[in-house]
Amino acid sequence: MSILSLRGLRKNFGATEIIRGVNLGIEAGEKHAIIGPNGAGKSTLFHLISGKYAPSAGAIEFKGQSLANLPPHRINRLGIARSFQVTNIFPRLSVFENIRCALLWPSGYRYSFWRPIEREAKLNGETEQVLEKIGLAGRAKIPAGEIAYSEQRALELGMAIAGGAELILLDEPVAGMSHSEADNAVDLIRRVTEGKTLVMVEHDMNIVFELADRISVLVYGEVIASGAPAEIRANAQVREAYLGEALSDA
Amino acid sequence: MKTLAAKWGLWGGYLAVLLLLPQVFDSILAISIFNQMAIAIVFALSYNMLLGQGGMLSFGHAVYFGLGGFLAVHVLRLMEFETVYFSIALIPLIGGLTGLFAGIFVGSFSTRKAGTVFAMISLGIGELVAASSLIFTGFFGGEAGVSGDRTFGPPLFGMDFFSDVDVYYLAAFWVFVSTLFMYLFTRTPAGRMANAVRDNPERAEFIGYSARWVRFISFCASGMFAGVAGGLFALNYEFLTDENLNLVTSGRVLLMAYIGGLGFFIGPIIGAIVLTLMNFLLSNYTELFLLYLGILFALTVLFLPRGFAGFIMMHQIAWLRGRLHSLALPYLLTGLPALLFILSAVCLLELSHANEPVLHFLGLSLARDSALSWIGLVLGAGLGALLTAKSTPRLRRAWEAANAPNSEAGQEAAP
């Protein structure tokens, strides 16, 4: 059974229809990439799944449960975490605190205003482990707004995976990185999403083919192809709509 | 361990200062100022829970202060007429509970959004309650206000609350407890998330937190402590009017917290102390106090956006690198002309406001009708401004040098 399924999903802003009937099933444990030209609606799709936008029509189900009308924090609590295309962190909090905040709800702290947080050894230990994993242990005390861009991207990723969500949505995780930074990021993504379901939007085809075991191609709000990387590479329609252009760019 | 000891030392020192102040300065006047400071500290700290910690700009925080105060005064009245038997020591708690319930009610709809929406709702509620206070005269006493008497309660540790010193010790207790709890709140999951939501409410949603609930919790806590401050006010003055919950009071607490420094826990304490002192010192000497307060606020916003506390903390890096002393001379060279400018400008303002033909101010005798005093002051201000401007580049260079990354200092520290 699919862990995430989208059925007849539509989203319009006024008269403009961005997502035009998407049907997609994501299997548990799969690494799924969504590619497509600019303006195809990839980020919008993520916003719909994670609850930032409400669908105009259609259904989204996570482990058989409908996500309709759920606010983002409820969707997150079900086990869906995401990162953002534009770095979206808590700039004035330290790197350590950014990760610790991401761990709070999954660790069951809820809105506790009576437990001194520094005494929660397990929570603080787990925070350090995540920092270790994403290579930011040395930057723990610095305000997150002041670290380097690629470090912020790693932090962004760390916040998405910290809570142990089953389904991770990554929106262009390596956008704006240099080649070597991107290579590191790919390693990092592979390590931290092990055993989890990953759905990512990415422009860089090398990274997509390296990480994904299934690819869906979104063009003007519709999935025109979905399959293994080799199939997608060979698909004439995809080449015409998107890949040819992207490959000739590269 | 070292930081833990430092923390205990800090809180112990705070308590000691609170307890020793009336021993060192024991005049009636000093005690009355300390009582005002105590009230202002709790009120300003509660405001900082909203704006500094939670990112909610409120123009109506006096509502919780005032409602808490009014309820407290009514309880005092009930005690006076022996309708209820209650301890004077717990009067601030009455204020706190009132503030909490008012916070729960208003927060239930106002914390949905931060930013402009929140600010406008707070302004609306502030106006609404202030207007109501003049309409529902049974509870608020109209323009005359409501007065009580704090001396009818059972004595506490031998204190009967006839004198302000008794009130001071009670207030000091509540200030200490409130400060401690407001600080501890910032170190809990709800308090940390308040900062997170202030920084980025959207992201908070995607890590499982409802930004609205996080704001709501801070809002209620903030209302409660504002109410405690209101209760202290009721005890100290035994008298409340509509002014205690209108926009003037809301504006004043915003100024205190902002001038003190919003981003720092200690900022509002500094702001409360400085403004209370200023209020006392200046309002005896000049009618232009509010004008100076406004100028101070504008200058703080422009030049010290993180307030006095931020200004002090700015020097941390230079201090850690052992270069703080290198700033002393440049500060002096800029500070003295700046002082000349400020004093000349103040004299000009006072002179244009003066009612008598000769103004005695700062040891000077300035004749209003003499061109000489005007020219002298304008020259003084001009010279001050010119020298200040001339010396700023030097100060800036010294500042950059003092804060520069450690190349030489690193070598110094190595052996």
Q: What is the mean pLDDT of residues B22-28?
A: 91
How high is the pLDDT of residue A242? Answer: 67
CB contact A168 to B (< 8 Å): no
Substitution target in A75, A113, A120, A130 with the highest count of B β-carbons within 10 Å is A113
Angle at B250 between CA B114 and CA B220, to 5 degrees: 50
A52 chain-B contacts, CB cut-off 8 A:
202
B214 chain-A contacts, CB cut-off 8 A:
111
Percent of chain A with pLDDT over 90: 81
How high is the pLDDT of residue A163? Answer: 92
pLDDT band at residue A244 under the 50/70/90 scheme: low
Number of CB atoms found within 10 A of residue A40's CB: 24
Q: Are the Cβ atoms of A104 and B191 closer than 8 angstroms?
A: no
Q: Note the helical H segments in B286-370.
A: 289-303, 307-313, 316-320, 328-353
Percent of chain B with pLDDT over 90: 72
CB contact A141 to B (< 8 Å): no
> How many angstroms separate the CA atoms of B109 and B115, rounded?
14
How high is the pLDDT of residue A245? Answer: 55
B40 or B346: which leads in pLDDT: B40
Q: What is the mean pLDDT of residues A61-83?
A: 96
The yes-or-no verdict on residue B251 having pLDDT over 80 is yes
The yes-or-no verdict on residue B415 having pLDDT over 70 is no
Q: Can you give the length of chain A in residues?
A: 250
Q: What is the mean pLDDT of residues B274-281?
A: 91
The yes-or-no verdict on residue A249 having pLDDT over 50 is no
Q: Are the Cβ atoms of B213 and A71 closer than 8 angstroms?
A: no
Substitution target in A70, A76, A101 with the highest count of B β-carbons within 10 Å is A101
Q: Are the Cβ atoms of B205 and A71 closer than 8 angstroms?
A: yes
How high is the pLDDT of residue B407? Answer: 57
Q: What is the mean pLDDT of residues B302-324?
A: 89
**Averaged confidence pLDDT in chain B:** 91
Q: pLDDT tens digits for B62-108?
A: 999 999 999 999 999 999 887 788 889 999 999 999 999 999 999 99
Report the relative pairing of strands B146-147 and B239-240 from DSSP bridges.
antiparallel
ipTM of the complex: 0.93
Q: At a CB cut-off of 8 Å and minimum separation 6, what does A33 contact?
A: A199, A200, A201, A202, A208, A211, A212, A214, A215, A216
Q: Are the Cβ atoms of A73 and B189 closer than 8 angstroms?
A: no
The yes-or-no verdict on residue B1 having pLDDT over 70 is no
Q: pLDDT tens digits for A16-65?
A: 999 999 999 999 999 999 998 888 999 999 999 999 999 999 999 999 99
Q: How close does chain B come to A54, measured CA to CA in Å? A: 15
> How many angstroms separate the CA atoms of B405 and B402, rounded?
9
Q: Are the Cβ atoms of B189 and A93 closer than 8 angstroms?
A: no
**Partner residue opposite B192 with nearest CB, options A71, A77, A117:** A117
Q: pLDDT tens digits for B180-222?
A: 999 999 999 999 999 999 999 999 999 999 999 999 999 999 9
- Give the chain A residue whose CA is nearest to the CA of B214: A111
Q: Is B91 in contact with B234 (CB distance < 8 Å)?
A: yes
- Domains of chain B: which residue ranges? 17-252, 316-405
Percent of chain B with pLDDT over 70: 97
Q: What is the mean pLDDT of residues B310-336?
A: 89
The yes-or-no verdict on residue B131 having pLDDT over 80 is yes
Q: Note the helical H segments in B84-200.
A: 91-110, 115-135, 137-140, 164-186, 189-199
